[in-house]
Amino acid sequence: MPRWMADLVHTDTPQSRVVHLVGQSSGVNAEQRRLPAYLLEARRRFFLKNYSPLYALGIDIAMLLGTSITRIRSFFNKSIILPPRVLRDSLRHSVLLKGFQVRPVLLPRNKS
């Protein structure tokens, strides 16, 4: 390596250190929150619009069954964490209670 390149490359120890605090800016480790209603409504609309009502019904039943099994497992294994009221919210926004009509999804307003 030529001398002028060696002067540009410093192999000394860094003068500063960076500490990464996991999830501080994104809120990954923050308190669990309920799933937003628009997310569940958009999910229902997607399956009704792009597949069939029978398919959407099957998907909702599978989600409710899977969430119920996971909820039961969470009583025995404390490391399994589900959002609060996920089973109730999933049922409330499913085709079982909302029906098979494709409705527009209303997004929440920004809190600015």
Inter-CA distances, 13 with 1, 16, 67, Å: 21, 9, 51
Q: Is 64 helix (H, G, I), strand (E, B) or coil?
A: helix
Domain ranges of the chain: 52-102
The tokens of 110 are what? 């920004």
How much is the pTM?
0.68
Give me the pLDDT at residue 29, please.
61
Q: Give tens-digit pLDDT for 55-101.
A: 999 999 999 999 999 999 999 998 888 889 999 999 999 999 999 99
